[in-house]
Structure 1
């Protein structure tokens, strides 16, 4: 996919303009979701994946983009240029995201892609479309420790002008603990996928393990995907997905999102380390 595609995606967000304000939260089956997601949840819930599709699930700010990039590189034999064909949200659509036109929704993007697809979600396990489990799709879940996850989410909620206003840090801590942020409770989220990991064949990873020994975790993902790549390709993937290289990669660092939506003067999408 060419640079023009990246620009058209960014231009669509820019064109949405004033419709891209901070969306309020609406409960869906007890889970607070931003109104543009909640209003379209019936269509999201009805999504029917292909058995070859891969789901990458996380609580927000727990290593999603990092894992998306690792998977894309594994599937493309470590070819960096192939993985610069488009920005992350186009290569690996966000299942439930739903934005004002002309921005394509996650479903719009997925419906234009041929399987196998890499699909991102922040939905807790009970809200994931049942087709993923009926088709026995492979699922990778990444959990991050609560304190670091909360800090990263706080900064993200400040810079992302579509997320609900985070308010002061002192109040944000209590909202996090009560599960009153977008996508609900961190505690229930990580526990739900953990309890279902064996029954649903979920590869459950820990963000801290990925930081401690990225090569080991890349190899775990590779084996889960039934791939076999030579050592030099694995080494290249580890290097390409280092924080330094990811932060400098315009196809992975979310600089395709205009500053009117992601205000980098407040915080970068990739802030101090893998908080993505």
Structure 2
């Protein structure tokens, strides 16, 4: 596994990307969405797998439990000779609705999702916990760029010089899109941790679903972090480029783990920088609950 060369970041339409996520670009941009498709959009490590699993259980119950989550909910922009392309995976999905995930910033999402008025579920996580989670993910995932040490990684995060670019732009631009695109449901990771059942209720309301109390209770239990972390169909342990000896794909799933990583000085600098970049008073994050 150590022989795999780490990819290099490059500027792609103003966003830091790697070849594995841009090599299939023409097919991504020309992807034909269907009106009942549901797009799950996030900045990486913000709860993508969590919400993907919830949606899969809401629509398809236990039916596909023997299939890994990344096959049930294809990753739109991924492309590699070993696994094929996310667009092909999505086209082959036998389910309706199709659940498709992306980490693309809103300006790079295929237009057909908007033209078809597809429902989009966006999940955002506070910047401090997000950067910590992404750092550990980049350490263990050999298909990601080399993260370096924590201090330099934090600096690059603030500059938007990590994969998928600026967190600040990502969460803010998707938030702005919500004001003009009514089929977008914007969720917060911290709310999910605080009360998963309540957030599933809101999600069902957005999707027009009415699961029974028993069904909702069962799903809430199924998507508990510790249960998903042990489940080979949701924890990505079957993916060879991920080195679980360094860190698990699903690490802690908590709010406030940033306190174990940020020094006092780093926290103060981060706070000052954050104020200059996050100007919209209507978009507020919690760094503890």
Please state which band the TM-score falls in when normalised by the shorter chain: 0.7 to 0.9
The answer to whether the aligner puts 1:154 opposite 2:104 as a matched pair is: no
Does the 8 A contact of 1:93 with 1:106 survive in 2? yes
The 3-state SS of whatever aligns with 1:204 is strand
Instruction: Give the TM-score, by structure 1 length.
Output: 0.88
CA offsets 1:158-181 (integer angstroms, 9 cap, x no match)? 000010000111110110001011
Deviation per CA, 1:193-217: give whole Å up to 9, x if none.
Answer: 1011132221000000000010000
Partner of 1:5: none
- 8 Å CA contact 2:138–2:147 kept in 1: the answer is yes
User: Structure 1, unaligned stretches of length 5 or more?
Assistant: 1-13
The one of the two structures with greater contact order (alpha-carbon pairs below 8 A, sep at least 6) is 1
Regions of 4+ moved over 6 Å? none
Structure 2, unmatched stretches of 5+, are 256-289
Matches within 5 A, 1:1-276: 21-76=5-60, 79=61, 81-99=62-80, 101-114=81-94, 115-200=96-181, 201-258=183-240, 261-273=241-253
Q: Distance in 2 between matches of 1:82 and 1:274?
A: 29
C-alpha deviation, 1:40, in angstroms:
2.4
Whether contact under 8 Å (1:73, 1:237) holds in the other structure is: yes
TM value normalised by structure 2: 0.84
Q: Is the 8 A contact 1:26 1:38 kept in 2?
A: no
CA contact (8 A) 2:41 2:103 kept: yes
Distance in 2 separating the partners of 1:130 and 1:21: 33
Tell me how far 1:28 sits from its aligned partner. 1.7
| Paired residues, number | 253
Aligned to 1:8: none
CA distance in 1, matches of 2:5, 2:93: 29
Determine the C-alpha separation between the residues in 2 that align with 1:236 and 1:274: 21
Q: Classify the secondary structure of the residue corresponding to 1:197.
A: helix
Contact 2:40–2:120 (Cα < 8 Å) also in 1: yes
State the Cα distance separating 1:121 from its structure 2 match: 0.2
Instruction: Say which SS state the counterpart of residue 75 (structure 2) adopts.
Output: coil
Q: SS state of the match for residue 84, structure 1?
A: coil
Q: Deviations over 1:88-145 (max 9, x none)?
A: 110000000111x231211121121244210000000000001110000000000000
Conserved 8 A contact 1:58-1:64: yes
By how many angstroms is 1:274 displaced? 5.7
